[in-house]
Amino acid sequence: MSRKKQNDDLSMEERLAQMDEDWGQTDGSKNEFEQLPAGDYNASIYDVELTQSSNGNPMVKLQHQILDPEFENRFCWHNIVLTPKSIKIAKQTFYQLGMDTEDFELADLEDHLEELRGKEVSFKLSYKPNADGDSWPRYRYKGQSSADNEKPATKKAKKSKKSKKKTKKSRR
């Protein structure tokens, strides 16, 4: 009888009982996952999801798969929480990831996140200590290209530029 067939015949309790020895020998208090060291990385956006933070704020979760040989196929996560205070940084981050942030309203963000999946990105990873003594990762994306590293214009600024051009034309 195959192992799969054997497992199909066992109750959930019996399956769990088979793992009791491993469970007892595992130290759950230690996090054996090493964080990536600070530095420059090339990665692919493996997954992207719009969800909620622990405070109930909208949050975009990006999962990066590292492409660099030393850490190839390792993963790291970047959570972008959307609040009135963080909206400017969030918009700049999405712009640097290659999204046309002026092409849609924020309420339609979820419809545009899929375009990030599979996209290759470059970023500088650093860590900032917090009040609890932990350190939180910080991501600085290198932008769409060297010419695109300027901040995205707001709709108000774009309208202002258009009205200045019209005023110049009407003066002629």
Report all structural domains of the chain as residue ranges with CATH numbers, in order of start. Answer: 39-160 (2.40.50)
For residue 78, give both structure tokens.
């970047």
pLDDT of residue 29: 67
Other Cβ atoms within 10 Å of 78 Cβ, number: 21
How many alpha carbons lie under 13 Å from residue 49 in its C-beta half-sphere?
Answer: 9
Residues of the chain with confidence (pLDDT) below 50: 1-5, 145-154, 156-172
CA distance 27 to 40: 33
Three-state DSSP class for 116? Answer: helix
pLDDT of residue 152: 47
pLDDT of residue 150: 47
CA distance 138 to 149: 18
pLDDT of residue 119: 96
Of all residues in the chain, the percent with pLDDT exceeding 70 is 76
How many alpha carbons lie under 13 Å from residue 43 in its C-beta half-sphere?
Answer: 30
Beta strands in 8-143 (DSSP E): 39-52, 58-66, 75-81, 120-129, 135-141
pLDDT of residue 160: 44
The overall average pLDDT reported for the chain is 82
Contact between 8 and 24 under an 8 Å Cβ cutoff? The reply is no
Q: Which residues contact 36 (CB under 8 A, 6 or more apart)?
A: 66, 71, 74, 76, 125
Query: Torsion angle of alpha carbons 5, 8, 13, 18, nearest 10°?
Result: 20
